[in-house]
């Protein structure tokens, strides 16, 4: 299981995925599957960084409304 909390994209990949990310998204379910289409071959151009921390602030999101 990998949670998409803070994805990082190259400029080229961002041009491919920006339309997938909408302001009304409550969750990112399935985006990881779709993002791989923007980084072909995905097995050579995608990775998971699991050694960084993210501090969650108590700011309500669309999912908490």
In the structure, what pLDDT confidence band is assigned to residue 38 with cuts at 50, 70 and 90? Answer: confident
CA atoms within 13 A on the CB side of 63: 6
Q: Residue 13 falls within a domain, yes or no?
A: yes
3-state secondary structure at position 15: helix
Residue 61 forms part of a structural domain: no
Domain count, the chain: 1
Q: Give the number of other Cβ atoms within 10 Å of residue 20's Cβ.
A: 14
pTM of the model: 0.59
Mean pLDDT, rounded, of the chain: 79
Q: What is the mean pLDDT of residues 23-45?
A: 80
- Is the pLDDT at 12 greater than 80? The verdict is yes
Domain holding 35, by residue range, is 7-21+28-44
Residue 49 reports pLDDT greater than 70: yes
pLDDT bracket for residue 29 (50, 70, 90): confident
Neighbours of 9 (CB within 10 A): 14
């Amino acid at each position: 299981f990998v949670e998409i909390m803070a994805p990082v994209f190259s400029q080229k990949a961002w041009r491919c995925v920006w339309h997938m990310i909408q302001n009304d998204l409550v969750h990112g379910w399935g985006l990881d599957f779709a993002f791989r289409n923007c980084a072909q071959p995905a097995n050579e151009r995608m990775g998971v960084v699991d050694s960084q921390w993210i501090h969650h602030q108590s700011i309500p999101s669309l999912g908490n409304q």
